[in-house]
Chains A and B, each alone.
Chain A
């Protein structure tokens, strides 16, 4: 018998009940910022993994399975971004010396270019932990963001803070639920080395002042084995070893306004525990451009050798990064040469 192929084109039907993330926040009425994370040029496998980690980080307001083809350029992404309400692009690229991360605001917003000095993948971070924890709702809410050390008042730092603050949606204090703040992104600027540390943690609350046995008992709801004990009081007062991570300083404990789960009761002290998930990066702000990977350069870390060449296709982007490498190397070789280089630039 001949096999019959199904020639019917079955239209794609979205399953009922699955809500698409909307463009406008129902609570605050603001537009929710969405992002695309993609790469320009061919990336090695490790960087592809970093790209997926970044995508997971930006959940839920990003395209997790964004497919990009070689012939797509930024204009194509822009055309799609408009109707979908995507506001930010995170672009990974690689040159001979190091990978770069560009963060830009879509319609014609500024682009910050970061050089990635070092990074760790999420899988490696988790493998290095003794007890990795990740529950399934972890990526259903957007993360909080905390920036430290950016307050020195310099213009480019201010722009960086504003940029990162606006990548994640705003929190309305009056209506936010404690259970929805489960992740946190930490950016810390080191003035001396001018490096930005990027970390991603998951937040866990543990009640303080409750012994470990009682806590485990309430958490797991398993009847404990009382066979060897004479009395329930023995179960409660048995001296267990204090846990290593018992935090004693008052700074890390908060008193919750509402109940969170079975363990953390309102107006009782709970300790905030952070456990690292997700990628770890060390970034250096290298350039700020006026347009989306185009436009004039407002700020440049390594001098203005690039300004004439940075005319605005991403090929030029790659090229200018290469030029910057050369510039950097020149800078690093000797400080005496800097003045000479600058003079030559002026002549050019």
Chain B
């Protein structure tokens, strides 16, 4: 009896303990679920999220990877078959323990088989329907296209419209617009030296002389026309160069004039100010002297006194 009594309360205590422990562990789990996982599940990018220090290509690929991971995660979240993931699972997953997965393997296999079958069926159906698309209808399509083209060209343009699209002989050379490839920047520096106007004049005169020769003249005109079309400024005409030289000279003269004028005014102002200063200084000194005399004389302005003794009235 005693034993039983001892055991019973022990058993009771045990069961109480287990239940209380269970409830408490549940409580703690619940608490943990409330904390967002990122605070205690270590993310494996100690590296900076903005991928500092990596090359452009590496950054781009990493960004793509994160994108893909996000997509995968989203998919898994919305997958109706998968169990809703919890942070406890995350932590467990980290440690590498997957006890529950084995249980579901069988179910998953069963389900995947049915999915696979369905997918296969769908694919086969689509292919069967797509099947002969494009094989027999090319002739019909060509005829239809030509007919449409002929209908559209009703502006009196008889030739030249239909033969555009087929490079029948394969010898048509196709050129495209200007494309910058980025490797021409380095070689340009040598040619960029700007010649002075006098040198340009010399060159232009030489060109004129060369143009006496007709074949050379033709080549030169074509060359200059082509480079002008490309945007390069060709200084061909001696008259224009002379005109611009004259204009430049005039501009320089005008500027020199202005500069001289400016220097002159500065000098003048300086002189004026110096003069004024000197005058003021002299004036100040005189004022001082006058003040002193006045002060001295003030003392002798007694009533009945006519001033300082100047000397005897009569001559000695």
* Contact surface of A with B, Cβ cutoff 8 Å: 28, 30-31, 33, 87, 105, 107-110, 117-120, 124-125, 128-129, 144-152, 155, 158-159, 161-163, 165-166, 168-174, 186, 188, 190, 193, 195, 197, 199, 211, 233, 236-237, 239, 242, 244, 246, 248, 280, 282, 288, 290, 296, 298
Contacts and interface: CB of A to CB of B under 8 A. Distances in A.
A14 to B, nearest CB: 29
Contacts of B181: 173
Contacts of B13: none
19 contacts: A31-B231, A87-B231, A105-B229, A109-B228, A125-B152, A144-B177, A151-B175, A163-B229, A168-B177, A171-B178, A174-B182, A186-B164, A190-B159, A190-B160, A190-B163, A195-B160, A197-B161, A197-B164, A298-B225
B226 interface: yes
Interface of B: 122, 125-126, 129, 133-134, 137-138, 141, 144, 151-152, 154-157, 159-161, 163-164, 167, 172-182, 218, 221-222, 224-226, 228-231, 233
The 4 A-B pairs with the shortest beta carbon distances in the complex, nearest first, are A151-B173, A170-B178, A145-B177, A110-B225
A110 B229 contact: yes
B229 A166 contact: yes
A151 B175 CA distance: 8
A172 B180 contact: yes
A248 B138 contact: yes
Contacts of B161: 197
Given A110-B228, A193-B159, A280-B155, A146 B134 contact: no
Contacts of A110: 225, 228-229
Contact of B225 (A120, A159, A237): A159
Residue among B122, B175, B179, B181 with the highest chain A CB neighbour number at 10 A: B175
Contacts of B133: 242, 246
Contacts of B231: 31, 33, 87, 105, 166
Given A110-B225, A288-B225, A146 B155 contact: no
Q: Interface on chain B toward A: helix, strand, loop, or mixed SS?
A: mixed
Contacts of A290: 221, 224-225
A21 B126 CA distance: 51
B177 A158 contact: no
Contacts of A33: 231
Contact of B221 (A195, A239, A296): A296
A184 B230 CA distance: 21
B137 A108 contact: no
Contacts of A147: 174-176
Contacts of A165: 175-178
A110 B218 CA distance: 14
A159 B226 contact: yes
Contacts of B175: 146-148, 150-151, 161, 165
Nearest to B181: A173
A204 B280 CA distance: 87
Contacts of B141: 244
Given A163-B229, A197-B161, A146 B180 contact: no
Contact of A298 (B126, B138, B222): B222
B172 to A, nearest CB: 5
B134 A166 contact: no
A237 B126 contact: yes
A51 B129 CA distance: 50
B176 A145 contact: yes
A144 B179 CA distance: 10
B144 A146 contact: no
A118 B154 CA distance: 11
B182 A173 contact: yes
A184 to B, nearest CB: 9
B287 to A, nearest CB: 57
Contacts of A296: 221
Contacts of B159: 190, 193, 195
A237 B129 contact: yes
B226 A158 contact: yes
A166 B230 contact: yes
Contacts of B173: 148-152
